[in-house]
Amino acid sequence: MHAPRSWHHGLIAEWWAIFNTGGPEIDYYGEFVRRGQPALDAGCGAGRLLLPWLRDGLDVDGCDVSPDMIEHCRAAAAADDLEPRLFMQALHQLEPPRRYRTVVACGVLGLGSTRAQDEEAVRRLHAALEPGGTLLLDNEVPYSSAARWQRWTAEGRAALPTAWPDEPVRKTAPDGREFTLRSRTLAVDPLDQCIHMEMRAETWRDGRALAVEERELSMRMWFRDELVLMLRCAGFASVGVRGGFTSRAPTPDDDTLVFVAQRA
């Protein structure tokens, strides 16, 4: 198996650490973590979920495939006098130092991995749980983006790769540096349900370019019933599906589904 190919390194990891700090997932998953500790944030990145939970005194470990993201997480934790247990592992190679009552895998399944690696990842997540433990895994549905969904067709794929957008996303860091971020679609394989993307990150200060980085990432798209079957085949005794970060049943209009799986 090849190593997961991720763009969460260098400037892009720094962007995530500085600017990607909120979201409904923090409180939503946090309630599960409060009811079931210890917990693992599997794919913790720079600590978007992990750090608020640690500040609340919850017993949570973190792992990620990117050493850069782990270091950003460790530095942010140290600024709050926190010393979380962090380790660098891909999900399909997960061998945590202990077992957990709750494992959260937020926005990570299918990133830079093969189909076989995703299947192994779910088995490893099952093994990381104590008996009766809960896995919480979210998944963006393949049709959530109309622009990307059109690329699944022969006509849409013929227009790939797309050009870089003229206007990037721009944000200013606390130290005064300006960051810009662009992304584009390189290729789509509808049989493998995989989209290949490229991202370009730049930093500027006083109108002068400081650094530019380009990185690629594959994203595997999973449908609801595929994931339910994969979780059951991995050994989970029950699998529930929720619409978005709520307690209700999913609808066709939900962009994100949350899978709540119990180990027997």
User: What CATH code is carried by the domain that includes residue 247?
Assistant: 3.40.50.150
> What does pTM read for this prediction?
0.95
Q: Which domain holds residue 115?
A: 10-142+223-263
Q: Specify whether 53 is located in the same domain as 109.
A: yes
Per-residue pLDDT of the chain (264 residues; tens, 9 = 90+): 455 567 789 999 999 999 999 999 999 999 999 999 999 999 999 999 999 999 999 999 999 999 999 999 999 999 999 999 999 999 999 999 999 999 999 999 999 999 999 999 999 999 999 999 999 999 999 999 999 999 999 999 999 999 999 999 999 999 999 999 999 999 999 999 999 999 999 999 998 999 999 999 999 999 999 999 999 999 999 999 999 999 999 999 999 999 999 999
Q: Specify whether 120 is located in the same domain as 56.
A: yes
Q: Specify whether 103 is located in the same domain as 183.
A: no
Query: What element of type H or E holds 210?
Result: strand 208-220
Instruction: Please write the tens of the pLDDT for every residue from 50-101.
Output: 999 999 999 999 999 999 999 999 999 999 999 999 999 999 999 999 999 9
Number of C-beta neighbours around residue 80 at 10 A:
11
Q: Specify whether 58 is located in the same domain as 154.
A: no
Could you give the CA distance from residue 47 to residue 62 in angstroms, rounded to a whole number?
A: 8
Both structure tokens of 176: 């005064």
Q: Specify whether 190 is located in the same domain as 233.
A: no
Could you give the CA distance from residue 76 to residue 58 in angstroms, rounded to a whole number?
A: 16
* 20 found inside a domain: yes
Q: Specify whether 238 is located in the same domain as 123.
A: yes
| Domain tally, the chain | 2
Q: Specify whether 61 is located in the same domain as 96.
A: yes
* 2 found inside a domain: no
* 182 found inside a domain: yes
